[in-house]
Structure 1
Amino acid sequence: MATKDKYQKYTPLEHILARPDTYVGSLETDNEKQWVLNKNKTGFDYKTIKHIPGLYKIYDEILVNAIDQASIDNKLDTIKVSIDANGTITVMNTGIGIPIEKHSKEDVYIPEMIFGQLLTSSNYDDNIKRTVGGRNGYGAKLANVFSSMFTLEVDDVQTQQTFTMTWTNNMQEKTEPIISKKACKKGLVKIIFKPDYKRFGLKKLDADSFALFEKRVYDACACTPDRVNVYFNDIKLCYKNFEKYVDLYIGNKKETNRIYESTKRWDVAVCYSDDGYKQISFVNGINTSIGGTHVDHVVRKIVNKIIDKIISKNANSQVKASFVKDHMFVFVKATLENPSFSSQTKTECTLKPQSFGSTFECSDDFSKKLLKLGIMEDAMALAKHKELRELSKTDGKKRGSIKGIPKLDDANFAGTSKSEKCTLFLTEGDSAKTFAVSGLSEIGRDYYGIFPLRGKLLNVREATPKQLIDNVEINAIKQILGLQQGRIYESLSDLRYGHIEILTDADVDGSHIKGLIINFIHTFWPSLLKFPTFIQSMVTPVIKVFKKNEEYSFYTISDYNVWKETKPCKGKTYTIKYYKGLGTSTSKEAKEYFRNKSQNTVYYIENDDASPHIVLAFKKDHADNRKQWILDGIQNNETIEYTGNNQQIDYSDFINKDLIQFSIADVERSIPSMIDGLKPSQRKVIFACRKRKNTEIKVSQLAGYASTVSAYHHGEQSMNSTIVGLAQNFVGSNNINLLQPKGQFGTRLMGGKDAASPRYIFTMLSNNCSQLIKTNDDPVLSYLNDDGMEIEPKYYVPTLPLVLINGADGIGTGYSSNVPCFNPDDIKTNIKLSLKNESLNEMIPWYNGFTGEIKPVPDFPGHYITIGKYSIVRDKLEITELPIGKWIQDYKEFLDSLIDDKIINYRNHSTEDKPHFVVKIDPKVISKCDVLKVFKLTSNLSTKNMHLFDANGNIKKYATPNDIIEEFVLVRMKYYQLRKNHIISQLTSTLDIISNKVRFIEMVTNDEIIIFKKKKDSIVNDLKQNKFTKIDDSYDYLLNLKLYNLTHENIVDLKKQHKNTQSELSNIKKLSTLDMWTNDLS
C-alpha cells in the first residue's frame, strides 16, 4: 500500500462500528460467571454463561436511560421491559416525556436529536451536580448504532402529540418523523429495537443473554424510587427495597446473617463470604460489575472498623485489610454527583471520593452488628495462620551439631539419641556464662550447653510476627532447642535439649528474665510446661556468713534475718558477704555450686493450670487485673523461700510470689511518691547532692557518685537522664527545677532531647531545692538500707507538694501516672485553707512561662485543654505559642507536611525557648477551617490518672489535686511535730551535757573530784557516785576534756551556752507546728 493510502478518516458512526470495543466492549462471546435468575425465579445463581459484553451494553444503555429519568422525573411511575421471541426488545417508561419540538439551534426535533445524533446530551455541563448515569453523549445512541431496527415513540402531554421515528441499518438510514395529535394523560418514551445480531455472531437472542437481560430488570427495580413500578414481560417485579433485593443473592435473614445501612444516598449491605471477596454495586442505577471508588470507599470504612476492633483486642495483631476484605460480600447502591467511569462500558467507577457529594459512615448500630458476622474472627485466624507460616521459617529441628550461633557452647550430646538428658543453661549475660563455664569443669560438657542472653528476652506475647522473625535471640533459642512453631510436644526426646536451666542474678531482674523465658515457652509451646523437669533454675546464695571455719549460705534476705536473730550478738561477730550478682562469685564458688548442682536446682511444675497466671503477668490487655495483682502482692508480701535441694515450685507460685517482686519494684521505680513527688532514682540524686559539698560537678561524675553513695544498681545512662530531667526549666518541664542547669540541658526546641552530653554539662543543687527540702527534717526521716549501708530516705517531706508543682509521668507494670503541673502560689493558698479547715479552691494546671490558655473541658471534670496562641491578619496566621507538650522542631516538621495541602508556605522566627511561626494561607481556607484543630494548637491534660505512693508505701489513685494537698498537709504536720520533738530532745540533751560539764569542771577545780594520778576506773566510779549522766554508755565526753577547758573562763562560756540553749529550747516549745511551716515558707 502506498504511503498516501495508509491514512484513513472515519466518521463518528463509522468509528463506532469499526472499533466497538472502545464504546460498548467486545462483540465476541465469552464464557464467564454471571449472576442470573434461577429456574424458580426466587433468587440469583452465580454460574458460567455465554456472555457478549457489547450486546449487554447496548441493552443496558436503554434501560439506564429509563432509570436516570426515574431519578429526576417525579411523574415517572412505570418502567416496562419486554423481549419477544424474535429478540426484539421494548423499553417503555412513563413521565413528563420529551418535548416534541425542534431544537432552537440545530433545526431538528429534540427526540431525534437525543436518540439519533451522536454526541448530544443534556449532561455536558459539569458545573451542574447531576445524579444520573449518562454523561458523554453516546448512551442510547449506541443501541441505535448496533441495531438493525430502532424505533422511538414519544408522547408529549404538553402538546398532546405523539412522535414516531425509525432508524435501520445501524442508524445509517431513517424515516421521517411522524407527528400526530394524541390525547394522552401521561408522557411516554418507548424504544423498540432489534440488535444487529449478526454483528454479535448470533442468529437470534440466545438464552444466556436473555437471562442476563432479565436479571438486569431486577437491578432496575431495586435502583429506582418506590413509586416506580417495574415490569418484565408484563410481570410486575416486587423488589423495590434494596435490602430485599440483596435476598436474591444470599437468601433471607434466617438463611444468611447480614447487616444493612440506608441513608439518603447510600444503601449498603454486608455479609460473611467464605469464598473470597465479592461485591455487587450500582452507581446511579448503573451496574458497576468491577466496582470502583464508591465500593472502595465503603469497604475501607468497614474494614477499618473491624481492624480497629481487632487492634483494641490485640495491639500487635498483623491483620491486613485484605484479610478482612477477603471474607466480605458487600452490596452498594450509591447516588453520586457527576460520576466518572474507566470507560464507556461503565463497569468501574473512577470518581474521586471528595467529589461524591456525600460520604458513607458506619453508624454505631451498624458497627456493632458488623462485628458479629464472623468476618473479624476469620480475618484474625487468617492472620494467625500466616504468622505461623512466617514464624515456621525460623524453626529449629532435632539434629546433631549446629553452627552459626554466636556464643553458643553446645552440649556434646545435644540433638543425639541422648538429647533428652541434655540441659541448656540460659544465662543472664556473658559474665553469667563465664560463671557457668567455670562450673561445667565439675560436671562436664557432654550433657550441658550454655547460651548467654543479651539482657531480657522479648515479651513474645505482645510481639508482632516481624519482631519475632527479626529477633536474633528468639530465633537462636528455637534453633538450639529444636523448637517448631505450633507443634504440640508429647515427648522431650523430640528436642535437642530435654531441659532448660535458667541462670540469673538473685534479684528482681533475674526473676523477670525467668518469667520472660517461661512466658516464651508458654505462648508457643504450652505442652512443654506439662513436663516437670523441662524448665529449671539454679539458685545461688544472696548472702554468705563466715567465722573461722564456719560458713553459712542464705538464699533469701529473710532467711538471713531469721538466722541473725538467733545469734546472741545479732551475728555481728561474723563476716558478711552480699552477693549482688553471679559476678560476685569466684570461680571456686561456681565449681562448688555445680558440684552440688542437685542441691542448687529448683524445678518448675504445673500442678494447676498456670495459664491464667502467666497471661495475667505478660498480656497487655490485662492491665486492670495486674493492678489488683500488684496491690495484693504489696499487702500480702509473700515470697518464695528458695532452698535448692531439688525444690519444686508451681508456675503459679513463681508468678504470684517471685515474679511479682519485679513488678512491685518496677512500679516503685516508675511511680513517684505523693509526699516528695520523686521517684527513687530522683531521690537518690538529691540525697547524693546533699551528701557532698554543693559545688558544680559534671553530670556524668554526679551519676557515678550518686550510684555509689545511694546503691543505684541500674544503668549509668538512666541516672544521667534523671539528673538532666531534674535540672530542666523550659516551658513544659519543671515549674521549679531542683538542680541548676550549668550548660545545655535541653530546650523547647526538642523537648529536652537536645541536651548536651553528660560529659560536658555541670550541675548542683538549686536554691529552690534547699528552700523546699529542709535539712532540719533529715534527722527524723526514715532511711533505707542496702547491704548494711544507709542510703536515701524512704521519702523527703518538702514544704510544698512537689508532685503538684512539677507534675509527674511514669509507666510501671500495671500502673501509670500522669500529674499535671500547678502554680505554687495556688498550692500555698490551698494549704493555708486546709490548715484552717476551709474549702479549697479549684486549681487549674499551670506551667511556668506558658503564655497560652489552659481551660477546663466543660462537662468533663478533671480534664483540661491547653491552647496555643495565634492571630490572623489577612492571609497570615501568626503562631506565637504552642500547647503544652508540643515542641518547636516537631511543629516545624508538622507545618512542612501541610505545604501544598493546607498552607502556601511559612516562615520560622522561633528561638530555642519561644515558638514563632508566620504561616501564609489562603484566606478562604482560614475562614472555613477550625484553626485550633487543623493546626493542632491544642493538647489535653487530665487529673484522672494520678497514681502515687502514699506515706505508708501503698499505691493510691488520687481523684483531684486537692485530695493530694489534704493528705500532704497531714503528713507534713506530722513531720513538723517529729522535727519539733527531735529538736527539743537534742536541746534537752545538750543542756544536760553542758550542765554536767560545768559541774564536772567546778568539782575538779574545787578538788571534789581528783583526776590526776588516779586510775580511770577510780575516776569513773567517782562520776557514778556523783550521778553524772552517761552519753552512749560512757563518760568520755567529760574525761576527754582538754586541760585548758578546766578553767573558770570555760565555765563562764558553758553557762552562757546553757542560757542560750535554754532560751532556744523555750522558744521551740512555744513554737507551734503551724508556725514552723509558716517560717519555712517565708
Structure 2
Amino acid sequence: MTASQYLINSSREYAIYVCSTRAIPAVQDGLKHGQRIALWLLCRRADKLKTFALSGLMGYERLYVHGETSANNTIGLLAAPYKNNVPMIEGLGQFGNRVAPVEGIGAPRYTEVRRAKAAEAIMYRDLDLVPLKDNYDGSNKEPVHFLPLLPMVLLNGISGVAVGWSTEILPRSLKGLIQATQDALNGAKTIRGLEPHFERYNIAVRPLAANQYEFSGKAEIVDTSTARVTELPPGTSLENFRKRLIQMEEAETINRFIDRSTDCIDIEVKFTRGHLRNWDEPKLLDFFKLREKNTERVVVINWNGSSIVTYSDPAQLVRDFVQWRLGWYTTRFEKLSSDTSHERNYWVILRTLFQAGFTKKLGTFPNRALMEEEVTKVTKKAKVEVFDGQMDRVLSLATYRWTKEFEAEVERKIAGFDADLASYAETLADPKKLKAVYAGELDELKKLKV
C-alpha cells in the first residue's frame, strides 16, 4: 500500500466513524454507535438499572468514549415515547410527554431503564450470530450491527448532520413497516405501509411529491371569537409556538391566549368579537402556521459499513434489507446444523462406549487418566472423533448413569438430532422454506403490543 492510499483509506475510515457516531445511522439496524452500545449492554440484562448506571457501564466497559452526559442523552432519547414510535428501551420514570418530548426527560439519577419487549421481539434476534469487532483499544468486543427483523432505520425517524452529509428519515408505523417487509419478502411490485406516521401525535400527513410531505397540526373554531389549537406539527415545539402567539398578541392580531397544555396540546386563542365568522379550519391552520413541509433524505451507512449511500426510494431500502436479512437465515440454519452435529457427536461417543461394553469396566479404573485412555481406544477403533470438551463430559458422567435406561435415552437423543439435521438440511436447500421461516416470524411480530 502506498502512502497516498494509506492516507485516503485512513481519511475514509475516520469520516465514516464520525458520521456513524454522530449523525448517520447504519442501514442494517438503524442505529448510531452510542445507541447500539446502550442496547448491547441491556440485551442480556433482565433487571432494571438507573439511567446513569447504564451510561457509566458504557464507559466502564470501554465501549463509549464521549462522556456520561452524551451517553445519558442517548439513553434518554432511546426511551422517550414522544421521540420514538416504538422505544427500544423501556423507561421507568419521566421520559418526556407531548408538551415536553425532550425537555421533560428526567435527570438520569432519578430515572431507570430496562430491556424493552419491543427490542426483544425486533432487535435482539439471532444474538449468537451478531458480528463483533474489537473496541477502540482491543480490550472488549462490541457489535458491528444487530440483526433486526425489520428495517429499523425507517421506524422511529432519524435526523443528523455531519461534515459533508445529512440525513432526515421520517418515522413509520410498526404495523406499516411489517407490511412493507412482508411485501418485499413476497416480491410484490408495490411496497405498502411506508407512509410517514407519528404514533402519539394527531398529525395529518399529506404527500406532495416523491419523498415530500406536508404535516399539519390541529385547530378548531369554537365560536366566532375563539379558536382552539390541539396539535402542533412535529417540527414545532410548544415553547416556540407560545413565542409566536406572544408576538401575535403584541401585533394585536389576536387578543390573548390561554395555554392549558399538560399531557396534550390545548391552547385557547381569543380574537375580537366576530373575527372568525367567515373562517374555516384550513384558514386557521395557515394563520397559526400549523403546516410544515418536509423532504425526506434517506442517507445511511452502507451495507459494507465503509461507505455512505442515499436511497431515493424507501421501498428499495426495504427490498435490499429483506435480501440482506434472508442471508442471515442461511447463516442461522448453518450454525444450527453445526451445533447440532457437534452435540450429536457427544451422544454417538456414548453409544459407541455402550456397544463396546465400556459399562463392564466401570469401577475398575484406578484413575481418570486410565479411563480416558480406554475411551480414546474405543473411539479410535470405531473412528469416532472426540471434539473439544466432549472427553471431559464423558469422564464426568457419574457411574450410576450408565444404565439400560440411559442407553435407550442415548438412542432417542441421536434419533432426535438426526431428524433435526435432516430438517435443517431441507430448509437450507430450499429458499422457499427459508422465506417461510422469515414470514412466520413477521406474522408473530404482528401480535406485539407496544
The TM-score range, normalised by the shorter chain, is 0.7 to 0.9
DSSP-derived class of the 1:763 partner: strand
Query: Quick check: 1:941 aligned with 2:294?
Result: yes
- 1:669 maps to 21
Deviations 1:808-860 (A, max 9, x none): 11222211111000122222222222222221246321110222210012xx3
Q: Which runs of structure 2 are paired with 1:440-479 in the superposition (5 Å)?
A: none
Offset from partner CA, 1:451-477 (integer Å, 9 cap, x none): xxxxxxxxxxxxxxxxxxxxxxxxxxx
1:1044 is paired with a residue whose SS is: helix
CA gap 1:1002/1:1042 in 2 versus in 1, 3 angstroms: farther
Residue 792 of structure 1 corresponds to 142
Out of 323, 327, 331, the position equivalent to 1:970 is 323
Shift, 1:982, TM fit:
1.1
* Aligned residues of 1:672 and 1:949 also touching (Cα < 8 A): yes
Q: 1:1011 to 1:995 in 2, by over 3 A?
A: farther
User: For residue 119 of structure 2, what is the aligned residue in structure 1?
Assistant: 769
1:1078 pairs with 2:439: yes
Deviation at residue 1031 of structure 1 after TM alignment: 1.3
Match of 2:405 among 1024, 1049, 1063: 1049
Cα distance in 1, alignment partners of residues 242 and 187 from structure 2: 49
Inter-CA distance 637–1067: structure 2 relative to 1 (3 Å threshold): farther
Give the TM-score, by structure 1 length: 0.37
Going from structure 1 to structure 2, the CA distance change for 1:657 and 1:966 (only over 3 Å counts) comes to closer
Contact 2:226 2:276 in 1 (8 A): no
Q: How far 1:1069 sits from its partner (Å)?
A: 4.2
1:889 aligns with 2:250: no
1:999 and 2:352 matched: yes
2:303 is matched with which residue?
A: 951
Instruction: Name the counterpart of 2:199.
Output: 848
CA distance in 2, matches of 1:1033, 1:864: 60
Cα 1:742/1:715, change in 2 over 3 Å: same
Give the % identical residues. 22
Count of residues in Structure 1 that have an aligned counterpart in Structure 2: 425
DSSP 3-state at the match of 1:740? strand
Match of 2:448 in 1: none
User: Counterpart in 2 of 1:864?
Assistant: 213
Shift of the 1006–756 alpha-carbon distance from structure 1 to 2, 3 Å rule, reads closer
d(CA) in 2 for partners of 1:1011 and 1:1078?
Answer: 56
Query: Taking structure 1 as reference, are residues 844 and 882 closer, same or farther at Cα in structure 2, changes over 3 Å only?
Result: same
Cα 1:709–1:1068, aligned 2, differ >3 Å: closer, same or farther?
farther
Matched, 1:701 2:53: yes
CA-CA distance at 1:946 after TM superposition: 1.3
- Please tell me whether residue 1018 in structure 1 is matched to residue 370 in structure 2: no
- Per-residue deviation at 1:720? 0.8
Q: Which amino acid aligns with 1:1035?
A: M
1:407 maps to none
Q: Tell me what 2:39 maps to.
A: 686
Q: Which amino acid aligns with 1:867?
A: S
| Distance of 2:34 and 2:240 partners within structure 1 | 29
Alignment partner of 2:309: what SS? strand
Task: Please report how far the alpha carbon of residue 757 of structure 1 lies from its aligned counterpart in structure 2 after TM superposition.
Answer: 0.8
* Post-superposition offset of 1:682: 0.7
The question of whether the paired residues in 2 share the 8 Å contact of 1:698 and 1:760 is answered with yes
Distance 1:753 1:972 in 2: 37
Q: Which runs of 5+ in 2 are unaligned?
A: 428-432, 445-450
2:436 is aligned with what amino acid?
D
How far the C-alpha of 1:1035 sits from its partner, in A, is 2.8
Counterpart residue type for residue 878 of structure 1: R
Structure with a larger share of its residues in helix = 2
Matched, 1:729 2:81: yes
Q: How does 1:379-778 map to 2 (within 5 A)?
A: 638-639=6-7, 661-670=13-22, 671-691=24-44, 693-709=45-61, 711-730=63-82, 733-775=83-125, 777-778=126-127
Q: 1:707/1:737 Cα in 2 relative to 1: closer, same or farther (>3 Å)? A: same
Cα pair 2:344 2:417 within 8 Å, conserved: yes
1:997 alignment partner AA? L
* 2:149 counterpart letter in structure 1: T
Change (3 A) 1:788 1:1004: farther
- Aligned residue type for 1:1076: V
Alignment partner, residue 447 of structure 2: none
Residue of structure 2 equivalent to 1:210: none
State the shift of 1:1033 in Å.
8.1
Structure index of larger Rg: 1
* Equivalence for 1:50: none
- Aligned residue for 1:486? none
- Cα distance in 1 for residues equivalent to 2:373 and 2:344: 26
CA spacing shift, 1:1064–1:1034, aligned 2, 3 Å: closer
Larger deviation, residues 703-712 vs 999-1008: 999-1008
> 1:910 is aligned with what amino acid?
S
1:1076 shift after superposition: 1.7
Aligned 8 A contact 1:685 1:706 in 2? yes
Inter-partner Cα distance in structure 1 for 2:205 and 2:416: 53
Paired residue for 1:1059? Answer: 415
Structure 1: distance between partners of 2:88 and 2:9: 37
2-side partners of 1:705 and 1:713: how far apart?
11
| CA pair 790-975 structure 1, distance change in 2 beyond 3 A | farther
**C-alpha distance in 2, partners of 1:1011/1:789?**
48
AA aligned opposite 1:638: Y
CA 1:1003–1:1013 in 2, change beyond 3 Å: closer, same or farther? farther
Is 1:748–1:887's contact at 8 Å kept on the other side of the alignment? no
Q: Describe the superposition over 1:534-573 as per-residue Cα deviations: whole angstroms up to 9, x where unpaired.
A: xxxxxxxxxxxxxxxxxxxxxxxx9xxxxxxxxxxxxxxx
- Please state how far the C-alpha of 1:900 moved relative to its aligned partner: 3.6
Tell me the distance in 2 between the aligned counterparts of 1:932 and 1:861: 24
Specify which structure has the bigger relative contact order, considering alpha-carbon pairs within 8 angstroms and separated by 6 or more residues.
Answer: 2
Name 1:326's counterpart in structure 2.
Answer: none
Which letter does structure 2 place at the counterpart of 1:1043?
A: T
Native 8 Å contact 1:748 1:888 kept in 2: no
- The separation in 2 between residues aligned to 1:996 and 1:964, in whole angstroms, is 49
- When the two chains are superposed, the root-mean-square deviation of aligned CA atoms in Å is 2.7
**CA–CA separation in structure 2 for the residues paired with 1:900 and 1:1033:** 80
- Counterpart of 2:168 in 1: which secondary structure? strand
Unmatched 5+ residue regions in structure 1? 1-557, 559-632, 640-655
Shift, 1:684, TM fit:
0.7
- Residue by residue over 1:992-1049, the C-alpha shift from the partner in whole angstroms, topping out at 9 and shown as x without a partner, is 2222223224535444799713644733344323323221387333233333333333
Residue 839 (1) aligns with residue 180 (2): no
**Residue 706 of structure 1, CA deviation:** 2.6
Structure 1 equivalent of residue 157 of structure 2:
807
Cα separation, partners in 2 of 1:637 and 1:949, compared to 1, 3 Å: farther
CA–CA distance in structure 2, aligned partners of residues 717 and 791 of structure 1: 23
| Cα distance change on mapping 1:836 and 1:1038 into 2, 3 Å | same
Structure 1 residue 927 displacement after superposition: 4.9
* CA distance in 2: counterparts of 1:850 and 1:1034, whole angstroms: 57
> Given that residues 783 and 792 in structure 1 are in contact (C-alpha distance below 8 angstroms), is that contact kept between their aligned partners in structure 2?
yes
Shift of 1:1079: 2.6
Following superposition, the deviation at residue 722 of structure 1 comes to: 0.9
Q: Is the 8 A contact 1:669 1:681 kept in 2?
A: yes
Q: Deviations over 1:1029-1076 (max 9, x none)?
A: 221387333233333333333333333333333444444445522222
Mapped to 2, the partners of 1:637 and 1:1054 lie a distance apart of 59
Shift in Å, 1:657: 6.5
Which one-letter code corresponds to 2:127 in the other structure?
D
- Decide whether aligned partners of structure 1 residues 658 and 956 sit closer, same or farther in structure 2, where only a CA change above 3 A counts: closer
The alpha carbon displacement at 1:751 in A equals 2.8
